[in-house]
């Protein structure tokens, strides 16, 4: 064999060994890469399983929350219906209470329709003696009115105190001031008679107060003011209205309040309900 042929044979063997070594190295590298990928895949699968468990847990929680939310919405709808029912019942009860208050007021007003309230009359002697109070009330307040009506031709005679007054009693008050007196007439006819005649025939104040009234273009105030005996709620509402700067005057007719506003001096308003506020009445 020639030297050249020997050299080529050596090169061929060397190359074969090198190729074999490269092949083994590549196989080993591929094996390592496969193992690494397998490990990574196993890790990913483990993580995926953990995530699936968490997702399943979240799905369960969401389902429970949805169930709770649905129940809460149902409960809320029930509560809204109950609330509406309660509001309807409350409005109905308010109406019933208003009706009852109005009926009670009407009954009390009817019971007081025989009576008047007299102010500024100081009773001498025993204030608890009905006959004493009745006699002084008749002689000082009502007799002058009735006598004036007879003198003016409006009446033919004057009823005596037993015919005119059923009873009279003094209300509690300050010791240093004349206390109000409630007088109950024998009939509403007599009460109406006194109320219609008082303007023209009731005793009036004299002196400086009369002069002040004359200068203001008004008649002198009555010496003993006579007003209807009103239920407390009606009386207090009349007082409240008279104190309001928008009101010129407020008075009662047959137990019902009337008023005149400063802004409407030519008109008279009726007060529909004494249970309304002043602003509602004047509004």
Instruction: Using the Cα atoms of residue 241, residue 242, residue 247 and residue 248 in order, give the sign of their dihedral.
Output: positive
Q: Per-residue pLDDT averaged across 135-150, rounded?
A: 96
* 6-20, 53-67, 83-97: the lowest-pLDDT one: 6-20
- Quick one: 6 exposed, middle or buried, by C-beta within 10 A (0-12, 13-18, 19+)? exposed
* 8-12, 103-107, 154-158: the lowest-pLDDT one: 8-12
**Helix ranges, the chain (H):** 3-111, 130-137, 143-151, 161-164, 188-201, 208-215, 232-243, 278-282
* 116-125, 207-216, 230-239, 272-281: the lowest-pLDDT one: 207-216
Q: In whole angstroms, what separates CA 48 from the centre of its chain?
A: 64
Over the stretch 77-107, which tens digit does the pLDDT of each residue have?
Answer: 998 998 898 888 888 888 888 888 878 777 7
């Amino acid at each position: 064999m020639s030297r050249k042929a020997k050299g080529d044979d050596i090169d061929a063997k060397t190359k074969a060994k090198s190729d074999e070594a490269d092949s083994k190295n590549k196989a080993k590298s591929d094996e390592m890469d496969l193992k690494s990928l397998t490990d990574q895949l196993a890790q990913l699968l483990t993580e995926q399983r953990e995530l699936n468990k968490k997702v399943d847990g979240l799905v369960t929680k969401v389902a429970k929350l949805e169930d709770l939310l649905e129940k809460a919405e149902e409960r809320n709808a029930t509560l809204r219906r109950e609330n509406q029912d309660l509001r309807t019942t409350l409005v109905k009860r308010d109406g019933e209470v208003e009706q009852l208050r109005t009926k009670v007021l009407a009954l009390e007003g009817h019971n007081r329709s025989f009576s008047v309230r007299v102010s500024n009359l100081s009773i001498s002697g025993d204030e608890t003696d009905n006959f004493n109070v009745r006699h002084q009330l008749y002689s000082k307040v009502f007799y002058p009115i009735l006598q004036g009506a007879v003198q003016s031709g409006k009446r033919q005679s004057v009823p005596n105190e037993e015919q005119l007054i059923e009873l009279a009693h003094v209300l509690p008050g300050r010791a240093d001031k004349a206390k109000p007196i409630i007088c109950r007439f024998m009939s509403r006819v007599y009460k109406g008679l006194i109320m219609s005649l008082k303007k023209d025939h009731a005793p009036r104040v004299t002196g400086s107060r009369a002069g002040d009234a004359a200068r203001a273009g008004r008649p002198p105030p009555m010496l003993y003011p006579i007003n209807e005996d009103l239920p407390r709620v009606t009386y207090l509402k009349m007082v409240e209205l008279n104190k309001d700067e928008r009101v010129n005057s407020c008075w009662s007719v047959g137990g019902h309040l009337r008023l005149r506003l400063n802004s409407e001096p030519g008109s008279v308003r009726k007060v529909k309900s004494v249970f309304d506020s002043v602003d509602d009445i004047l509004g």
